[in-house]
Amino acid sequence: METGNFRGFEVATHDPGIAVITFNQPERLNGLTAPTKRDLVETLLQAQMDDAVRVVVITGSGRAFCAGDDITGRAAPGGTQALVPEIFGGHHNAIGTYEGLRAISQPVNSAVRALDKLTIAAINGVAIQTGLSLALACDFRLASKEARMGSATLRFGLLPDEGGQYLLVQLMGVAKAMDFLMRKRIVGASEAFDLGLLHEVTEPEELLERTMSLARELANGPQVAMRMLKRTIYNADEMTWHQSLDDIAAKTAVTDHHPDSREGVAAFRERREPQFNAWLRPK
| CA–CA distance, 178 with 154 (Å, rounded to integer) | 12
Looking at the fold, whether 102 and 201 belong to one and the same domain comes out as: yes
At which of 219, 253, 272 does a domain end? Answer: 219
| CA–CA distance, 34 with 90 (Å, rounded to integer) | 10
Looking at the fold, whether 154 and 66 belong to one and the same domain comes out as: yes
Give the mean pLDDT of 11-36.
96
Give the mean pLDDT of 186-212.
98
pLDDT of residue 73: 66
Domain that holds residue 253: 223-280
Q: Where do the DSSP E strands lie in the chain?
A: 4-5, 9-14, 18-23, 55-60, 64-66, 118-123, 126-128, 140-144, 148-150, 186-188, 200-202
Looking at the fold, whether 130 and 175 belong to one and the same domain comes out as: yes
Q: What is the CATH number of the domain that holds 108?
A: 3.90.226.10
pLDDT of residue 17: 97
The 10s digit of each residue's pLDDT in 65-116 is: 999 998 776 666 666 899 999 899 999 999 999 999 999 999 999 999 999 9
Looking at the fold, whether 269 and 155 belong to one and the same domain comes out as: no
| CA–CA distance, 191 with 282 (Å, rounded to integer) | 44
Looking at the fold, whether 215 and 232 belong to one and the same domain comes out as: no
The 10s digit of each residue's pLDDT in 204-231 is: 999 999 999 999 999 999 999 999 999 9
Looking at the fold, whether 177 and 234 belong to one and the same domain comes out as: no
Looking at the fold, whether 237 and 268 belong to one and the same domain comes out as: yes
Work out the number of other CB atoms within 10 angstroms of the CB of residue 221.
17
Give the mean pLDDT of 188-199.
98
Closest CA to 84 of 60, 64, 108, 63: 108
Question: Between vectors from CA 107 to CA 105 and to CA 112, what angle results, nearest 5°?
Answer: 120
| pTM to 2 decimal places | 0.95
Question: What are the distances in angstroms from CA 222 to CA 35, 118, 200, 241, 259?
Answer: 35, 12, 23, 26, 10
pLDDT of residue 71: 74
The 10s digit of each residue's pLDDT in 55-67 is: 999 999 999 999 9
At which of 188, 219, 250 does a domain end? Answer: 219
| CA–CA distance, 36 with 104 (Å, rounded to integer) | 10
pLDDT of residue 75: 66
pLDDT of residue 76: 62
Domain tally for the chain?
2
Closest CA to 141 of 130, 150, 132: 132
The 10s digit of each residue's pLDDT in 234-252 is: 999 999 999 999 999 999 9
At which of 186, 204, 219 does a domain end? Answer: 219
Cβ(144)–Cβ(123) below 8 Å: yes
Q: What is the CATH number of the domain that holds 257?
A: 1.10.12.10
Sign of CA dihedral 16, 125, 103, 138: positive
Looking at the fold, whether 156 and 247 belong to one and the same domain comes out as: no
Helix (H), strand (E) counts: the chain: 11, 11
pLDDT of residue 47: 98
Looking at the fold, whether 132 and 266 belong to one and the same domain comes out as: no
pLDDT of residue 283: 66
pLDDT of residue 80: 85
Looking at the fold, whether 39 and 178 belong to one and the same domain comes out as: yes
pLDDT of residue 54: 98
pLDDT of residue 257: 96
The 10s digit of each residue's pLDDT in 109-164 is: 999 999 999 999 999 999 999 999 999 999 999 999 999 999 989 998 999 999 99
pLDDT of residue 77: 63
Q: Which residues contact 263 (CB under 8 A, 6 or more apart)?
A: 274, 275, 276, 278
pLDDT of residue 208: 98
Cross-strand partners of 150: 128, 186
pLDDT of residue 255: 97
Looking at the fold, whether 69 and 209 belong to one and the same domain comes out as: yes
Looking at the fold, whether 204 and 242 belong to one and the same domain comes out as: no
pLDDT of residue 282: 73
Cβ(13)–Cβ(42) below 8 Å: no
